[in-house]
Amino acid sequence: MVDSKHQWKAWLYLSPAIVLLLIFTVWPIINTIRMAFLEGYDSLSAVNGTTFSFGFGNFIKVVQYKQFLTCLKNTALLCVTTVPISTLLALLIAVCLNAIKPLQKLLQTIFFLPYVTNSIAIGMVFAAMFNIVGNAHGTENEIIVTAGIINNVIEFFGGTHINWINAGSTYWANMTVMIVYIVWNALPFKILVLLGGLQSINKQYYDAAKVDGTSRRRVFTRITVPLLSPMLAYVVITGFIGGFKEYTSIVGIFDETMGPPDDKGRLNTMVGFIYDALETSKQGRASAAALILFGIILVITLINLQVSKKKVHY
């Protein structure tokens, strides 16, 4: 029985959350969709009484905008490289961790450390590691004092130093740095989830395989991976969602210019594009881009769920 006194009390307890959600979650959804479909909407003109007609203009403008395509390309590229690399590496580390006893706790803690960092702060450390120290301003007769620890290591093994992030660096050098940093950053969460999954697999499966004399590889592909598949699907989906929202790790390494000093904005991402549009007060365009981002995330999640429905064993 639901009595009315209880009803009243429930809504009282819910009220602070609901009021805040209405203002900062529900209204933004409605308003962002509204602004996205009003041609060339910007809030400054809106305040002055300008009216905007309904249409798909913002979406068309966003898609035709060269900057947007760069952002989309960068974001997609970072996603399709970092998600598989970090997932495979995390799987490998988790399986190895699960196979050892001494030092397991210590190593597990070490592998989790990158999670409890500030992605901007540690990005600055990576920038210093890949940096070329000295008067490297891209001039003809530049003097390189030292080439940064990563380049020092490359030179130690007989290679030549690479201009990773400074003026005059190539797009692929920049991308490599970003991939290394994002993978480093993404590992802890994936290892944590996958190791948790491995530890919950019933030992009886492995005992049965041992009795049958099954090879290691077969045990891995026929027992470990299938039983781990829900966790794998989970880290891949969250990895893609996080990847499409990549922004702060790039700010950490390249600062707000989102690229080397001589080619600003080269590494900009979808989220960066939205904020750029917002800061220039082009809310219509920003809203359209945000809806496109939402659409992409939705599609990727649905595809992932569809694939895992076929492949995941619960």
Partner 1 sequence: MADVIMHERNIQLVSARQRIMKIAVLVALYIFLIAMAITVLFPFYWMINSSLKTLEEYRLSIPTFWPRQVMLSNYVDAFNTANLGRLFLNTMYVGIVSTLLSLVITVLCAFAFARLEFKGKNTLFAALLATMMIPGELFTITNYQTVNSFGWMNTYTVLIVPFLVSVFYIYLLRQNFMQIPNELYLAAKVDGTSDIKYLWKVMIPLALPTLISITILKMMGAWNSYIWPRLVANDDAHKLITNGLRGASFMDTTTNEPHIPQQMAAVALVSIPLFLVFIFLRKYIMKGVSRSGIKG
Site for partner 1 in 49-88 (CB under 8 A): none
Between residues 225 and 278, which has the closer beta carbon with respect to partner 1? 278
- Based on the shown chain and the rule CB under 8 A, indicate whether residue 16 belongs to the binding site for partner 1: yes
CA distance 248 to 42: 26
CA distance 207 to 155: 49
- Based on the shown chain and the rule CB under 8 A, indicate whether residue 275 belongs to the binding site for partner 1: yes
In angstroms, give the least distance from the CB of 185 to partner 1: 8
- Based on the shown chain and the rule CB under 8 A, indicate whether residue 164 belongs to the binding site for partner 1: no
Determine the residue type at 107.
L
In angstroms, give the least distance from the CB of 291 to partner 1: 7
Give the residue, chosen from 226, 230, 242, 261, that forms a contact with partner 1 under the rule CB under 8 A: 242
- Based on the shown chain and the rule CB under 8 A, indicate whether residue 252 belongs to the binding site for partner 1: yes
In angstroms, give the least distance from the CB of 182 to partner 1: 12
- Based on the shown chain and the rule CB under 8 A, indicate whether residue 7 belongs to the binding site for partner 1: yes
**145 CB contacts (<8 Å, ≥6 apart)?**
133, 134, 135
In angstroms, give the least distance from the CB of 7 to partner 1: 5
Between residues 13 and 172, which has the closer beta carbon with respect to partner 1? 13
Give the residue, chosen from 174, 271, 276, 308, that forms a contact with partner 1 under the rule CB under 8 A: 271
Between residues 205 and 275, which has the closer beta carbon with respect to partner 1? 275
Which of 162, 171, 174, 153 lies closest to 132 in space, CA to CA? 162
φ, ψ (nearest 5 deg) of residue 144: -90, 115
Which of 21, 39, 42, 40 lies closest to 30 in space, CA to CA? 21
Which of 91, 106, 116 lies closest to 185 in space, CA to CA? 116
Determine the residue type at 217.
R
Binding to partner 1 (CB under 8 A) within 101-140 occurs at 103, 107, 109-122, 124-126, 128-129, 131, 133-134
Give the residue, chosen from 58, 286, 304, 308, that forms a contact with partner 1 under the rule CB under 8 A: 286
Size of the site for partner 1 (CB under 8 A): 90
Q: Dig out the tokens for 10 from the structure.
A: 């429930």
Contact 283, 43 (CB under 8 A): yes
CA distance 304 to 296: 12
Between residues 35 and 232, which has the closer beta carbon with respect to partner 1? 35
CA distance 170 to 164: 7
Binding to partner 1 (CB under 8 A) within 175-194 occurs at 184, 187, 189, 192-193
- Based on the shown chain and the rule CB under 8 A, indicate whether residue 219 belongs to the binding site for partner 1: no
CA distances from 282 to 148, 225, 285 (A): 40, 47, 6
- Based on the shown chain and the rule CB under 8 A, indicate whether residue 251 belongs to the binding site for partner 1: yes
